[in-house]
């Protein structure tokens, strides 16, 4: 096998080696069943066991109370952009959106199909390089929606926004779910496409309060009602079995690390290696405001697009893959999700220093 690179991809992204090795071992036969994990019926005992264990471990990792359902859906986080307003907004209803990047903007655009979203805050004036400190909520929003980590712009909410009292808080946590402890009770719905911090693409984790399950619309297709999936333990139709299996291994990996406190500590140490260097670098500069910087996606530039391109190419030559930033920010983005090893950021900083001395 060729050597594994340092994979800074924003998603699909790096997974723990232990998880991949265990999955490999169960590809041809899950345990001693004689049938590979992908070949098991979703109604059979083996997979039903995997599903139950995955849910139980998810609840343990996230300390999720019993009055929340844990659902494993398809269609990516992008399908939640329309499923949420389709369930909870009628024409004439308002929902408040905190707009901190391209994904929040997409969520707003889909809400417009069902109701009247109100942008209660936005950081578009400075190309989403910060998290807004205030919001002007509307009088009677059905919910408040925010994006906890802005994958493209390298910003992250340090803590949840505080919606008006009694208004459900809904979060797109696709790129930072379980990067640190989370108080699920502050939310009514949390969703995340798996491919950044939880597993392969193709499965979306949804954590939803029972009240919201009940509150959903009844006059929409059954596949798009949360109650359908809640009542059928995510097996109304064939669920993404392989993705659920890998997600389960990732939850076990998190528990083995010591849980989310330990994961956060590791993430803070990793991110600090990069941000500390960016603060003193004569060449590179972080693009996000100091108080808004993401633990998961570190965005930085030289200020010279040609030099950025030279750096990305040189880095790739040295085994640092996926560092090209999103076109709306330019420059570089180092995505350092839970599974990304600290050694990778340390070696990247060493390489940055070499590059600085040759190009300073």
Q: What is the binding site for ligand PLP (CB under 6 A)?
A: 11, 76-78, 103, 147, 151, 172, 174-175, 193, 196
Nearer to ligand PLP, 193 or 331 (CB): 193
CB of 3 to ligand PLP, least distance (A): 27
Q: Say how far apart CA 252 and CA 245 lie, in whole Å.
A: 11
Nearer to ligand PLP, 43 or 327 (CB): 327
CA dist., res. 92 & res. 94, Å (int): 7
Under DSSP, is residue 231 helix (H, G, I), strand (E, B) or coil?
A: helix
3-class state of residue 4 by DSSP: coil
Q: How far apart are CA 132 and CA 167, in angstroms?
A: 19
What is the token pair recorded at 152? Answer: 């493209």
Supply the DSSP symbol for 115: S
Contacts of 251 (CB under 8 A, 6+ apart): 54, 57, 58, 60, 61
Closer residue to ligand PLP in complex, CB, 94/155: 155
**With respect to ligand PLP, which residue has the nearer C-beta, 172 or 308?**
172
Query: Minimal distance in Å, beta carbon 325 to ligand PLP?
Result: 14
Q: How near is the Cβ of 108 to ligand PLP at its closest, in Å?
A: 13
Q: Which CB atom, from 78 or from 116, has the smaller least distance to ligand PLP?
A: 78
User: In whole angstroms, how close is the CB of 297 to ligand PLP at the nearest point?
Assistant: 8
196 labelled catalytic = yes
Question: Min. distance of Cβ 351 from ligand PLP in angstroms?
Answer: 26
- Least distance from C-beta 46 to ligand PLP, angstroms? 27
Catalytic: which of 57, 96, 157, 172?
172
Is residue 103 among the annotated active site residues? yes
Kindly provide the b/e burial profile for residues 230-266, where b requires at least 16 CB atoms within 10 angstroms of the residue's own CB.
Answer: beebbebeebbbbbbbbbbbbbbbbeeeebbeebbeb
Could you say which of 196, 270, 308, 324 is catalytic?
A: 196
What are the Cα distances from residue 278, in Å, to 48, 188, 316, 349, 356?
Answer: 47, 37, 19, 9, 11
Hunting for tokens 């994904």 — which residue is that? 103
* Catalytic entry in 57, 96, 103, 142: 103
Listed in sequence order, the DSSP H helices in the chain are 17-25, 45-62, 76-88, 102-111, 210-215, 226-231, 241-257, 260-280, 305-317, 342-359
Q: What would the two tokens of residue 338 be?
A: 């839970």
Residues contacting residue 5 through CB under 8 Å, at least 6 positions apart: 319, 320, 321
| Catalytic residue numbers, as ranges | 103, 172, 196
């Amino acid at each position: 096998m060729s050597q594994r690179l340092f994979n800074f991809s924003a998603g699909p992204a790096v997974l723990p080696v232990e998880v991949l090795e265990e999955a490999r071992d169960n590809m041809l036969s899950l345990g001693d069943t004689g049938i590979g994990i992908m070949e098991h019926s979703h109604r059979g005992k083996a997979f039903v066991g995997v599903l139950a264990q995955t849910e139980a471990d998810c609840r343990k990792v996230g300390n999720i109370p019993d009055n929340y359902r844990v659902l494993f859906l398809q269609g990516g986080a992008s399908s939640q952009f329309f499923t949420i307003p389709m369930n909870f907004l009628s024409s004439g209803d308002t929902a408040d959106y905190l707009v901190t990047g391209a994904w929040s903007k997409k969520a707003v655009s889909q809400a417009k199909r069902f109701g009247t979203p109100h942008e209660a805050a936005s950081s578009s004036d400075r190309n989403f390089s910060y998290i807004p400190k205030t919001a002007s909520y509307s009088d009677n929003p059905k919910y408040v929606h925010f994006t906890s980590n802005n994958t493209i712009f390298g910003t992250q909410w340090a803590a949840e926004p505080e919606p008006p009292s009694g208004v459900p808080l809904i979060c797109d946590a696709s790129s930072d779910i379980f990067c640190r402890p989370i108080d699920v009770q502050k939310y009514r719905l949390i969703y995340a496409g798996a491919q950044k911090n939880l597993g392969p693409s193709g499965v979306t984790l949804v954590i939803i309060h029972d009240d919201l399950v009940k509150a959903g619309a009844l006059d929409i297709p059954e596949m798009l009602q949360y109650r359908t999936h809640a009542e059928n333990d995510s097996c109304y139709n064939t669920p993404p079995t392989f993705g659920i299996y890998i997600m389960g291994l990732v939850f076990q990996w998190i528990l083995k690390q010591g849980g989310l406190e330990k994961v956060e500590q590791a993430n803070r140490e990793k991110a600090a290696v990069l941000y500390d260097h960016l603060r003193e670098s004569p060449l590179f500069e972080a693009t996000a405001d100091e108080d808004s910087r993401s633990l998961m996606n570190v965005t930085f530039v030289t200020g010279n697009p040609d030099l950025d391109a030279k750096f990305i190419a040189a880095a790739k030559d040295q085994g640092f893959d996926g560092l090209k930033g999103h076109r709306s920010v330019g420059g570089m983005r180092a995505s350092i999700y839970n599974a990304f090893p600290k050694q990778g950021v340390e070696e990247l900083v060493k390489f940055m220093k070499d590059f600085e001395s040759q190009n300073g």
